[in-house]
Structure 1
């Protein structure tokens, strides 16, 4: 399990190298700009609103640098949590079509320019398929988040709830980004969950690193394209061999578009 976890973390870190490869970087620019725009705008509005909130709530006798610094530290931690759950989902929803194109380019690069035959779609077809998959991920996230959050309210179980929540976060990061290369080969989100579960230790190692990046100010701005590249390396190294033979051709004859989960 430890070896699998370490290998998965290695795939995530490999994304830093892959995103800088010639021919790959230009496919990463749009996801990067979308990520920076959404995260930057959200943090800017949040900081401005928090500054106004401090002006309103702090009495003059308490308006000193130490108290302000402490409150800003609390805000930074809160912003990291909010950005992880809200901005990440929004950024991936908006950038989903471009992430699929980036995954396809990285896969071809990893396979020496040839790549497996994936589903060929135009940008509009890519957008429709990818956004549909993102909505299904949001439904899956909501379905599991509520019972996990309720564990925090149950005495005894609330002691393990934070660890379960972190494990679920890592699992969601693996599902989120591994779905990019898998989706390029006609694998539905439901099928992807089954495939990734067969490499659970690797997935958790990958997801833990990406989750840490997403929750770290600065690194969260580049996390999305790096994660897509790393997930594509994970697909080539671990998951592609698990996709049933003939799956792609069977999907192609049904209209060469991605089915719903």
Structure 2
């Protein structure tokens, strides 16, 4: 049971193809792909049509300068906006698809704890987990925002601001662990503040798992594709190391 965070993460890939979990892995993944493809198409189309230098004539002697400037602006927008959209989409997807993640975590828990290959959710179960998941996401957002703003403000303070990037990375790793380990905790009806205490009591394990998630989430495109695998890994890691029975 005392498996490392990396081992749990890597061994969770095979579970994503396990029959009882497939629908909760591949359906949100399909939704993610459709939404991301639509957003990418819209953004590329907008950038292609964006021309702030349209009022300048291109048939004069300086026309080539205007054309080069237009191309440079578009390339800059591609470089800046597309990665920003991917990272923003990952955060948004985690919120919008939280019910799927909650259901996947519950299904994973049933599989690994009760060793049931087949189990179904009733409509009331799905409704309860959906409402519960959205409510929990709001708690995470309210926890995240003031601390993120505080670190941002620190960044503008001379000398102290030098520590802001380091603090941000540490906080991001903590939030990554909290975000995904919380699905299993929420399904166990463990209050958000109590869950934070449990994670804080085992900081080494929390940060080792959070670091893997944080690195994974930094990889464009793969970051949202791997979300279901991370949910499965987080659920397994929770029951191995953080579940109250293991305290």
Q: Could you tell me how far apart the structure 2 residues matched to 1:149 and 1:170 are?
A: 16
Q: Could you tell me how far apart the structure 2 residues matched to 1:222 and 1:209 are?
A: 15
Write the deviation string for residues 209-238 of structure 1: whole angstroms up to 9, x where unpaired: 222322322202313211111111111211
Q: Verify: 1:162 aligned to 2:165, yes or no.
A: yes
SS in 2 for 1:233: helix
Q: Which residue number in structure 2 is paired with residue 39 of structure 1?
A: 36
Q: Verify: 1:206 aligned to 2:203, yes or no.
A: no
CA contact (8 A) 1:99 1:225 kept: yes
Residue 35 of structure 1 and its aligned partner are, at CA, apart by: 2.7
Q: Which residue number in structure 2 is paired with residue 56 of structure 1?
A: 52
From the CA coordinates, give the structure whose radius of gyration is larger: 2
Q: Which residue number in structure 2 is paired with residue 177 of structure 1?
A: 180
Ranked by relative contact order (alpha carbons within 8 Å, sequence separation 6 or more), the top structure is 1
CA contact (8 A) 1:35 1:224 kept: no
Q: Which residue number in structure 2 is paired with residue 248 of structure 1?
A: none
CA contact (8 A) 2:129 2:187 kept: no
Query: What RMSD in Å do the two structures reach over aligned CA positions?
Result: 3.1
Q: Which residue number in structure 1 is paired with residue 21 of structure 2?
A: 24
CA contact (8 A) 1:34 1:91 kept: no
Q: Could you tell me how far apart the structure 2 residues matched to 1:50 and 1:24 are?
A: 39
Q: Which residue number in structure 1 is paired with residue 235 of structure 2?
A: 232
SS in 1 for 2:13: helix
Q: Which residue number in structure 1 is paired with residue 97 of structure 2?
A: 95
Q: Could you tell me how far apart the structure 2 residues matched to 1:111 and 1:49 are?
A: 49
The runs of 5 or more residues in structure 2 that have no matched partner are: 55-62
Residue 97 of structure 1 and its aligned partner are, at CA, apart by: 1.6
73 and 97 in structure 1: CA distance in 2 versus 1, 3 angstrom threshold: closer
Q: Which residue number in structure 2 is paired with residue 109 of structure 1?
A: 111
Residue 162 of structure 1 and its aligned partner are, at CA, apart by: 1.4
Residue 13 of structure 1 and its aligned partner are, at CA, apart by: 3.2
101 and 170 in structure 1: CA distance in 2 versus 1, 3 angstrom threshold: same
Q: Could you tell me how far apart the structure 1 residues matched to 2:207 and 2:39 are?
A: 28
Give TM-score scaled by structure 1 length: 0.76
The runs of 5 or more residues in structure 1 that have no matched partner are: 245-261
82 and 141 in structure 1: CA distance in 2 versus 1, 3 angstrom threshold: farther
Give aligned pairs, total: 233
199 and 13 in structure 1: CA distance in 2 versus 1, 3 angstrom threshold: farther
